[in-house]
Chains A and B, each alone.
Chain A
Amino acid sequence: MSDTDKAGAPRTDPIQSGTFTRPINAEIRRAAATGIYDIRGGGAKRKVPHFDDLLFLGASMSRYPLEGYREKCDTDVTLGTRYAKNPIRLDIPVTIAGMSFGALSGPAKEALGRGATLAGTSTTTGDGGMTPEELGHSDKLVYQYLPSRYGMNPRDLRRADAIEIVVGQGAKPGGGGMLLGQKISDRVAGMRNLPAGIDQRSACRHPDWTGPDDLEIKILELREITGWQVPIYVKIGGARPYFDTTLAVKAGADVVVLDGMQGGTAASQDVFIEHVGQPTLACIHGAVQALRDLGMHREVQLIVSGGIRTGADVAKAMALGADAVAIGTAALIALGDNDPKWEADYQALGTTAGAYDDWHEGRDPAGITTQDPALMARLDPVEGGRRLNNYLRVLTLEAQTIARACGKSHLHNLEPEDLCALTIEAAAMARVPLSGTDWIPGQTL
């Protein structure tokens, strides 16, 4: 198009709306054509304040570092020390978050178990129950207790190393889930006591309790069934972290799992994922403060999840007060999710590597979020486990590198004082000073 009109006068540049952007307009057209909202997997894709907005200060005249390769910097963590006779001891403070069989393939669950075991950490079941693949390859397995109770049985409950009562999920606090019929194979259906091929709803709240007073009794029941042997975690979505953590502790949790809005889901409405819940960074301080106010920080352990990608993220979460972190999406990427080597297949699905999120459709080129035998065969669980172990080791090494630079002989010794924030928003959320200042928004200088 010419820069001038027919009369030779300069044209006004076409200006795309900042409100009605191309993606928004495309979504309006899609909604108008189909009459159905967009469902997808993953967590919030919008850019929100995150760990990237924090920096470590490192050593200085007043802080001396530890030698980067030689001096001891421990990474172990023990979870469930409050009531359980058998707390879980992990070599590294990075665990694998709950992901369901049904959403994921059997080989993917096996690979997660293999990788976690090689790295000395735990993995977690998900909606749909416990599979032989993960039980057989997970040295430490956390059994999720979900509203749907798909596959729930006392035998598996007693075989688990910990129980995680799922109250909420960062991707959709207050929401349930839907495993669409195309992923409901005979095996998945059998584990869930439902016919094959039909959509399966996972309820948004538990069928036999409501509220923290009931939860306290539910925890009592689970402890009585399991002989008070194993830790009981309570997983909350990033909604009201101070109050939710307080109530979880009051109900008797050994461990609180806090999942921010970047945490993934197998399938939810895009509008839910992007518009409900808070960023992980904004949630940690509230949860830690709740534990401190109760005198329970480090007594009840805090696991943070939602957008953990690097050892720096691990270290920052721990410096803000977490005892450990959990990874889900990153673990799947380590296995091969969204790998550019499948770009042709992604293109055929109308997307591209890195953006593929239609996990609910069961056509995952990487063979991870599918029940299609041919696609599942693309993932070698042994190789996947090796890759996940490598990745977990890198996360740990990176976190150790940072901790040593801060003079810390254990990752748990990292503290908010080691951090500053690059933005006012991050400073306000994480409650650490804005870089170059002593200012924490909301606090009097």
Chain B
Amino acid sequence: MQVIDLATMPLRDMNATLQAQGAETNQRAWEIANPRGAHAIAVGLDAPIAVRVAGSTGYYCAGMNQQAEITVTGSAGPGVAENMMSGKVVIEGDASQYAGATGHGGLLVIRGNAASRCGISMKGIDIVVEGNVGHMSAFMAQSGRLVVCGDAGDALGDSLYEARLYVRGSVRSLGADCIEKEMRAEHLAELEELLSAAGSDAVAGDFRRYGSARQLYHFNIDNAY
């Protein structure tokens, strides 16, 4: 295990060190000590390494991640795993706004709750939230899957494109063009797979599925108000 202490190493050096790891690196396990809410921790990584952040982070932890498996033992600030391309990010605590925003791939797991706009504009990422999500989650979500084991706030899936949403608890309200859809066998299967990948013991059969009604796909003045 390689340990980087952010109390002594500058953020720039920490990120440069992790970014320098290639596919062939034999230093595959890293710990970031004393993150103390710093922003932009472990961003832009692109190697099959495991990074454990021992504490809580500020904005954009694991931003644009590729390949790496990053675990935050505390909570994460806004925009965790934003624009992630691949790999896995696990937040043991809660996540602030915009978790997984615009993510293109990979798996984001949030053991606690996620605040508003979780999965906003997601483009292929899978997100599993074991707690609740705040309002406007999956706003303009394009593709990928958002799984909420708890409750969802107002305007879930507003202006949704092709992302698929699964919620076990209540949904305070659905956003424009977001509707409940039939849960078919293939959906149960993919949900079970997602829950398993996230290490969740939730039962797929307890969830409801939501998706786009596809009524906003072509501009229509009647939808403008």
Contact = CB atoms under 8 A, between A and B. Distances in A.
Given A157-B64, A207-B98, A217-B60, A224 B11 contact: yes
B106 interface: no
A116 B78 CA distance: 38
Interface stretch (B126-134, B190-198, B215-223): B215-223
A181 B217 contact: yes
A152 B60 contact: no
Contacts of A198: 161, 217-218
Contacts of B101: 149, 207-208
A221 B162 contact: no
11 contacts: A149-B83, A154-B64, A195-B161, A195-B162, A199-B218, A207-B140, A208-B98, A208-B101, A214-B78, A225-B64, A228-B12
Contact of B44 (A148, A149, A225): A225
B59 A217 contact: yes
A220 interface: yes
A198 B212 CA distance: 13
A199 B217 CA distance: 6
B163 to A, nearest CB: 10
A346 B161 CA distance: 35
Contacts of B63: 221, 225
Q: Which of A34, A154, A178 has the most CB of B within 10 A?
A: A154
Nearest to A149: B102
A180 interface: yes
B142 to A, nearest CB: 5
A228 B43 CA distance: 13
The 5 closest A-B pairs by CB, nearest first: A225-B44, A208-B79, A149-B102, A193-B123, A198-B217
B216 to A, nearest CB: 8
A207 B11 CA distance: 24
Contacts of A227: 16, 19
B39 interface: yes
B143 interface: yes
A206 to B, nearest CB: 9
Given A194-B143, A208-B97, 6 more contacts: A154-B64, A193-B123, A193-B124, A195-B162, A208-B60, A225-B15
Contacts, number: 105
Contacts of A201: 140, 159
Contacts of A35: 221
Interface residues of B, number: 42
A153 interface: yes
Contacts of A226: 44
Contact of B60 (A154, A199, A218): A218
Contacts of A209: 59, 78-79, 98
A149 B125 CA distance: 14
B143 A154 contact: no
A15 interface: no
B46 interface: yes
Interface in B56-102: 58-60, 63-64, 66, 78-79, 82-83, 85, 97-98, 101-102
A130 B174 CA distance: 34
Interface string B124-163: 1000000000000001101100000000000000010110
Interface in B23-64: 39-40, 43-44, 46, 58-60, 63-64
Contact of B85 (A36, A154, A195): A154
Contacts of A154: 44, 46, 64, 66, 83, 85
B64 A207 contact: no
A207 B120 contact: yes
A48 interface: no
Contacts of A37: 221
Contacts of B66: 154
Interface string A209-240: 10000100110110011111000000000000
A217 B219 contact: no
B113 interface: no
Contacts of A148: 121
Interface hub of A37, A180, A217 (most chain B Cβ within 10 A): A217
A382 interface: no
A203 interface: yes
B164 interface: no
B82 A208 contact: yes
Contacts of A224: 11-12, 15, 40, 43-44
Interface in B144-190: 159, 161-162
A103 to B, nearest CB: 16
B219 to A, nearest CB: 5
Contacts of B208: none
Contact of A221 (B60, B120, B221): B60
B117 interface: yes
A130 to B, nearest CB: 14
A207 B219 contact: no
A221 B82 CA distance: 10
